Amino acid sequence: MSPRSTPRRSRLRGFLRYRAGPALVAMLAGLAVILLEFLDPLALDALRAGAFAGFDAFAARSGDWPDPANLPVRPGWGKVFELSLSLVAATGLAIAMPYMGAAAISVVGPAMIAGYVAASAYVYMNIGLQIDPAMPAASLLATYLVGLIALLWIVPDRSRAAMRNYMDPRVAEELATNAGNPTLVGETRDLTAMFCDLRGFTGLSEKRDPAELVRLMSEIFDPLAKIIQDHGGTVDKFLGDGLMAFWGAPRHQPDHADLACGAALAIRKWLKRETQERQEAGDWPDVRIGIAVNSGQAYVGSIGGPARRHYTVLGDDINVASRIQEHCRMLSADILIGARTRELIGARYAALWVGDYDLRGRRQQISLYTLAGRHADAFNTLLEAHATLMQALQSSRMEVARAFAAQTRLLAPAVLHPLYAALLEQRGEEPPARPIAWRVRDAIASIEAGHGQDAA
Structural domains in the chain, CATH included, are 12-164 (no CATH), 183-449 (3.30.70.1230)
Q: What is the pLDDT of residue 264?
A: 95
Half-sphere exposure of 273 (CA within 13 A, CB side): 7
Q: What is the pLDDT of residue 317?
A: 93
Q: Which of 315, 303, 298, 197 is nearest to 256 (CA)?
A: 298
What does the pLDDT average to over 326-336? 90
The per-residue pLDDT for range 32-88, each reduced to its tens digit, is 888 887 777 777 878 888 888 888 777 777 665 656 666 788 888 888 888 888 889
What does the pLDDT average to over 8-21? 71
Query: Dihedral of CA 243/244/250/256: which sign?
Result: positive
441 vs 354, more confident? 354
The per-residue pLDDT for range 121-177, each reduced to its tens digit, is 888 888 888 888 888 888 889 998 988 888 777 665 655 555 555 456 666 666 555
Q: Which of 364, 367, 363, 300 is nearest to 340 (CA)?
A: 367
Q: Cα 66 from chain centroid?
A: 67
- pTM for the predicted model, two decimal places: 0.61
338 in Cβ contact with 357 (< 8 Å): no
Q: Is the pLDDT of residue 228 over 80?
A: yes
Q: Is the pLDDT of residue 385 over 70?
A: yes
Half-sphere exposure of 233 (CA within 13 A, CB side): 30
Q: What is the pLDDT of residue 173?
A: 63
Q: What is the pLDDT of residue 10?
A: 61
98 in Cβ contact with 23 (< 8 Å): yes
Q: Is the pLDDT of residue 411 over 70?
A: yes
Q: What is the pLDDT of residue 436?
A: 42
Q: Is the pLDDT of residue 4 over 50?
A: no
Q: What is the pLDDT of residue 181?
A: 53
Q: What is the pLDDT of residue 431?
A: 42
291 — pLDDT class (breaks 50, 70, 90): very high
Tell me, what amino acid is at 375? Answer: H
Q: What is the pLDDT of residue 245?
A: 93
283 in Cβ contact with 316 (< 8 Å): no
